[in-house]
Amino acid sequence: MDTPLCKMYFYSYTCSSHKPRQNDYIFKMKDLERFSGKTGEKKAPAAPLQVLPQAQFVTITEEEAGQRIDNYLLRVCKGVPKSHIYRILRSGEVRVNKGRIDQLYRLNQGDVVRIPPVRVAEKQESTVPAAEFPIIFEDAHLLVIDKPAGVAVHGGSGVSFGVIEQLRAARPDAKFLELVHRLDRETSGLLLLAKKRSALNSLHDQMRDGLTDKRYLTLAVGDWKNQRQHVKLALHKYTLADGERRVRVQADGQASHTVFTLLKKFQEFALLEAELKTGRTHQIRVHLASSGFPIAGDDKYGDFALNKALQKATDTRGALKRMFLHAHQITFTHPETGKATTLNAPLAAECEKFLVSLGKPLN
* CA pair distance 45, 134, nearest whole angstrom: 40
Q: Which residues contact 281 (CB under 8 A, 6 or more apart)?
A: 235, 237, 245, 247
CA–CA distances in Å: residue 241 to residues 157, 244, 286, 302? 13, 7, 20, 20
* CA pair distance 59, 78, nearest whole angstrom: 18
* CA pair distance 298, 303, nearest whole angstrom: 7
In the chain the beta strands, taken as DSSP E runs, fall at 49-50, 56-59, 95-96, 99-100, 112-115, 120-121, 135-138, 142-147, 178-179, 188-194, 213-221, 228-232, 235-239, 245-249, 257-265, 269-276, 325-333, 340-344
* CA pair distance 177, 141, nearest whole angstrom: 10
CA–CA distances in Å: residue 272 to residues 20, 260, 275, 330? 61, 6, 10, 16
Q: Which residues contact 148 (CB under 8 A, 6 or more apart)?
A: 133, 188, 348
Query: What is the spatial order of strands in the sheet that 95-96 belongs to?
Result: 56-59, 112-115, 95-96, 99-100
Q: In DSSP terms, which residues pair with 159 in a beta bridge?
A: 156
* CA pair distance 334, 357, nearest whole angstrom: 38
Q: In DSSP terms, which residues pair with 245 in a beta bridge?
A: 239
User: Looking at the annotation, which residues are catalytic?
Assistant: 184
